[in-house]
Amino acid sequence: MIGVVADDITGANDIGIMFAKSNYTVDVYSSIQSEDKQLNGTDVLILDTNSRFDEAKTAYQKVFQATKELHKRGVTQFFNKTCSVFRGNIGAEFDAMLDALDEDFAIVVLGFPKNGRKTIQGIHYVHGQPLEDSEFRHDPVHPMTCSNLVDILKSQTNRKVTNIKEGIIKQGSEILREIIYALKKDYQYVIMDVTDQADLKTIANAVYDFKILAGSSALAEELPAVIGKKPEQTLPKNVPEYHQGKGLFCAAGSLMPQTFEQIEYMRARGASVFELDSLCLLDKERFTSSKTQLLNVMVTEINQGKNVILHSTNDPLKVKETKQKAFQQGISNREISQLVSSTLAEMTKAVLQQTGQKRFVIAGGDTSAAVCHRLNISGIRVWKEIQPGLPSCISLKNDPMLFVLKSGSFGHRDFIKQAFLHLKEQLLEPGGVVR
């Protein structure tokens, strides 16, 4: 069994679909407290530590414990799934996995060409821009001001870090494997250049049997071709019905431009789009009076067959004003972000309860985690890919839900449209078979 430790829920799904596409049965849990029988037949077990926004010490402890739990359950190959632009506690989490397994070497692959991430000469690019010049430079919690991946990782670990550049990778997997073994004598982390999908195939053929792999999910797409695909995927017996005649709901808490573009795309095509005013959240009395009205309008529209999107404030000036007002009230950027996510989660639960619809879309990692927590979803089965790294999934509980959790910076302009179509089309045939 392959074991993955992921630092957020959308990242867990992101890597999960890379294996699920090859018919691996992939389960994601927020903890390992589940009964053993629920894990029977699982090919890839993923634990979401939700540690990206933690302090480094806390993140280390979470990953250390999660790795130990995976090892106890017979996992033989481990993957430390991080953000595809190295946001978060990269060094602490990589070190934690090595320490937990008493190992001292890991392959690190961050490039994800299908989602615009490339590593060239050790410099990471996002849609052609160096990381430090991309939208991630302005991340409210982890602003990325450096593009050199070796330098970023070196700043967070005492272990030695190096980079294998594209020229070596282009020479093929055999030569690459020889170089890696030579570097193992002096380095603990080897970061690979990735310029295209062919590079990922070469890397997969060179490192498929290494005990610890780390980074983005992209490498995981190529691994099954080397270690073997599965003939079929096991799906949960119960898939929630789609209430035809009613619309679908999407809650978006991401500030990324990709999500903004996806929302505007839907607005132009007739979706009902509502804003959760972040300034209003800081005035409890004002928000309490407006929340009920907003909720009633959204529920009415969904029941009338309209698709509804509720998004957090994404206007840069208003976001800045919100941060300033929050600061005056003693509220940090992280705390206001959590307030937005928890409010979106609360309203998502209310919408689903009042419409009876059990299929939905969430955009943003923090918001996705908050929604899963509010809906008491602790285990999910990764199902079908909609766009690269963006799958649907089914909750593993007696009253299941079918939903999509989207990383804020992933997806094409039409992603929400495609996600809604996917959720509407996945119906049960007679006998309970999913088509």
- pTM, two decimals, is 0.90
Listed by start position, the domains of the chain span: 2-227, 249-434
In terms of C-beta density within 10 A (0-12 exposed, 13-18 middle, 19 or more buried), how is residue 154 classed?
middle
Tokens 């919100």, residue? 322
Question: To 10 degrees, what angle do helices 197-207 and 173-183 make?
Answer: 60
Strand-pair partners of 124: 119
**Which of 256, 246, 195 minimizes the C-alpha distance to 413?**
256
Structure letter (DSSP) for residue 135: G
Beta strands in 288-375 (DSSP E): 308-312, 359-363
CATH superfamily to which 249-434 belongs: Four-carbon acid sugar kinase, nucleotide binding domain (3.40.980.20)
Structure letter (DSSP) for residue 314: -
**Which of 226, 212, 205, 420 minimizes the C-alpha distance to 307?**
420
Q: Please report the pLDDT score of residue 243 as a whole number.
A: 84
**Which of 219, 218, 119, 211 minimizes the C-alpha distance to 173?**
219
**Which of 83, 11, 78, 77 minimizes the C-alpha distance to 48?**
11
Output the tens digit of pLDDT for each of the chain's 435 residues: 999 999 999 999 999 999 999 999 999 998 655 444 456 678 999 999 999 989 999 999 999 999 999 999 999 999 999 999 999 999 999 999 999 999 999 999 999 999 999 999 999 999 999 999 999 998 878 899 999 999 999 999 999 999 999 999 999 999 999 999 999 999 999 999 999 999 999 999 999 999 999 999 999 999 999 999 888 877 666 777 888 899 999 999 988 889 999 999 999 999 999 999 888 888 777 788 788 999 999 999 999 999 999 999 888 888 888 888 888 888 887 888 888 999 999 999 999 999 999 999 999 989 999 999 999 998 999 999 999 989 999 998 878 999 999 988 899 999 999 999 999 986 544 344 444
Pick the CATH number of 2-227 from 3.40.50.10840, 3.40.50.620, 3.30.360.10, 3.30.9.10: 3.40.50.10840
Pair 51, 88: CB distance under 8 Å: yes
Q: Is 429 helix (H, G, I), strand (E, B) or coil?
A: strand
CA angle 130, 134, 139 (to 5 degrees): 130
Q: Is 180 helix (H, G, I), strand (E, B) or coil?
A: helix
Strand-pair partners of 7: none
Q: Is 193 helix (H, G, I), strand (E, B) or coil?
A: coil
Structure letter (DSSP) for residue 3: E
Tokens 């980074």, residue? 215
Pair 365, 338: CB distance under 8 Å: no
Tokens 């089914």, residue? 394
Number of residues assigned to the chain: 435
Q: Alpha-carbon distance 233 to 124, whole Å?
A: 34
CB atoms within 10 A of CB 223: 24
Q: Is 402 helix (H, G, I), strand (E, B) or coil?
A: strand
Residue 19 exposure: Cα atoms within 13 Å on the Cβ side:
25
CA angle 32, 188, 113 (to 5 degrees): 75
Domains 2-227 and 249-434 share a fold: no
